[in-house]
A and B are shown apart, each in its own frame.
Chain A
């Protein structure tokens, strides 16, 4: 049975994608350049997401991105439309998009694993390999949420670092 959609219903979207920053933004081919690019993405999204009541978690690695977005349905849809079409990543795979009772990440959080001393192994390697085989067998949205909870730092801590 299809329930009527109530405006402002809380939704959670989880996706992963491949990192294409270096291909699109030549300055980001060095680790420093990449970090600068990511800081600027973060700074812009921080202001926007706070204003629109969106929270979540974001993991950058050398390979890709995994992100959880939580907020009112219309806002999450519009935000994902903008994020999804961004040329700085590819193979965007939505792992789940469902209504939710409560937020898993009530504070906007983010993790960054692409620095000169990268986490080894890349925590996204398995996820992206599965997603590009049309998978969703082994990897579900809740796996990603658990992984993000374990690796992300609070955004404020990261910004301050």
Chain B
């Protein structure tokens, strides 16, 4: 309320003639008492011996005490002992916290905060403030201020609680982190993320997923102390605020271990894992936001390190993240600025010694960094979600450039597993590329990797069959590097298998005294070629660099070869020269 800006009229003249002037009410003892009694925040006044001298209505309700002033000053410890849901160690913890906080306030130290659960569904925050040298105020907030708590409305749930697990929610977590950092209390933040949870939800259903999240919460709750805050931030993301921050790494390792143990739920045996990232306040950042970001970076690092890991934040992680962000920004611009181009590597048929087609390969010429390799920027593109746009550009450009070749050879385009996740968009991209260029569909070959078929859903298989029905060729790329390769071959009738370059490189020991690996690589190549021939598939050996390798893979039954022996990848302007050189009949 705004105070009047003019001077008060003398007492005797106050009256109806000056209705706009009002004196602010003086805070009398009566008013103060009424305020305190009715305040929806539990307040009790305690002395140095923990004798309780006063409590308001909210405190009486919380502790189960009579509403009026008691005749004597009951010790806080007795009041706590009378609360049926409070465990003995929680009682001791509260009493110890109150004693410590009273001393701390006398020394002028910042106020600290205790989160404690007073039995089921009664999580409260506790703070001690000094009134004078012998009296302290105990403030207990159970989230019922302004009726935000659903409990005070007679329902279930709470504005501060996650309804599924009963843990604190993101809102409460954010507030606590802010309070602790503002109070300069040292604290460690553990960010926890479940590995493989999504696949549980997808395969076993949300019912099992939700039940699993509840078990995860219970396991976490058993590992955390009362003074720590455990929250579910959403989805399969959890966080723990460790006050004092002392044993955060031990706790992090323990969390990874305990959450990775098997679960039996709804009649199912379920295995998941967890990754943890930790950042400390104030060591790793001056604000709540920085601590959150750095704990997230550490979590990202833990997941990148192979999951089921706990990582502490290190400044190098922030630098790496900055480099990546720069790369992201540049990559988003690269498409529009025309910094991307395609080069083509020829594929040769061993029997006829003529070229059958070219594989389109993406290149990025960065104005400052120079050439950036696909191995570096494709993973970034996949992660920031611009792989679809990148893939569309490659399809469109490759189809269009192939129409200008002097012979109608096939053009092979790589399809990222991420593109396969959105089948509708991929089908549209292929349609658009073919329609815009006028390229005959039987000249387009799509190279997919084994990992694209790992989750071989109906949708993906239907899409591939749709492509094949229209004459588009489908090749299995990098064959032999993934798992269950042979099973994948049965999942779909591929037109071509591309044998991974590592097997061809394995033939190089032939010159040395290393018969084992050579025999192994040759045996694998021979086996794959045999399967390919049996099913009428083309088998292309990748990474062929020497005439000796070419002879060997030819003898092992491969129909086609690709590699530096024929040619390095060339720009579109050099393609016709290559075709002329090899395919003289067609020239």
Contacts and interface: CB of A to CB of B under 8 A. Distances in A.
Nearest to B268: A97
A76 B264 CA distance: 9
Given A85-B222, A94-B269, A80 B264 contact: yes
B502 interface: no
Interface stretch (B51-59, B255-263, B473-481): B255-263
Contacts of A90: 257
Given A85-B219, A85-B222, A77 B265 contact: yes
A84 B258 CA distance: 9
A113 interface: no
Nearest to B257: A90
Given A85-B219, A85-B261, A5 B266 contact: yes
Interface string B285-296: 000000000000
A150 B258 CA distance: 32
A99 interface: yes
A153 interface: no
A59 interface: no
Interface string B247-284: 00000000001100111111111000000000000000
Interface string A34-57: 000000000000000000000000
Contact of A97 (B215, B219, B264): B264
A5 B269 contact: no
A93 B264 contact: no
A17 to B, nearest CB: 9
Interface residues of A, number: 18
A94 B264 contact: yes
11 contacts: A13-B264, A76-B264, A77-B266, A81-B218, A84-B263, A85-B219, A92-B262, A94-B264, A97-B264, A97-B268, A97-B269
Nearest to B258: A85
A94 B262 contact: yes
A60 interface: no
**Taking each of B222, B265, B267, B269, which has the highest tally of chain A beta carbons within 10 Å of its own beta carbon?**
B267
Contact of A92 (B219, B222, B261, B267): B261
A96 B248 CA distance: 35
Nearest to A91: B261
A84 B261 contact: yes
Interface of B: 215, 218-219, 222, 257-258, 261-269
Given A84-B263, A97-B264, A97-B268, 8 more contacts: A5-B266, A5-B267, A73-B267, A81-B263, A85-B258, A85-B261, A90-B257, A92-B261
Interface in A58-107: 73, 76-77, 80-81, 84-85, 90, 92-94, 97, 99
Contact of A81 (B264, B267, B269): B264
Contacts of B257: 90
A80 B222 CA distance: 15
Nearest to B260: A92
A84 B268 CA distance: 15
Nearest to B214: A81
Contacts of A97: 264, 267-269
A81 B266 contact: no
Contacts of B267: 5, 9, 11, 73, 77, 97, 99
A9 B266 CA distance: 11
B267 to A, nearest CB: 5
A16 to B, nearest CB: 11
Contacts of B219: 85
Contacts of B215: 81
Contacts of B222: 85
Nearest to B215: A81
Contacts of A15: 262
A5 B215 CA distance: 19
Contacts of B258: 85
Nearest to A92: B261
Interface string A101-139: 000000000000000000000000000000000000000
A52 to B, nearest CB: 15
Nearest to B223: A85
Contacts of A73: 267
Nearest to A15: B262
B266 A93 contact: no
B247 to A, nearest CB: 15
Contacts of A76: 264
Identify which of A11, A73, A85, A94 gathers the most chain B CB atoms within 10 Å of its CB.
Answer: A85
A118 B133 CA distance: 65
A77 B262 contact: no
Closest 4 CB pairs of A and B: A97-B269, A94-B262, A77-B264, A80-B264
A60 to B, nearest CB: 19
B225 to A, nearest CB: 15
Contacts of A94: 262, 264, 269
A22 to B, nearest CB: 18
Contacts of A84: 261-263
A5 to B, nearest CB: 5
A24 to B, nearest CB: 12
Contacts of A99: 267
A81 B217 CA distance: 12
A39 to B, nearest CB: 24
Contacts of A5: 266-267
B308 to A, nearest CB: 14
B262 A93 contact: yes
A86 to B, nearest CB: 10
Contacts of A81: 215, 218, 263-264
A112 B92 CA distance: 38
B119 to A, nearest CB: 20
Contacts of A13: 264
Interface string A1-12: 000010001010
A8 to B, nearest CB: 12
A90 B219 CA distance: 15
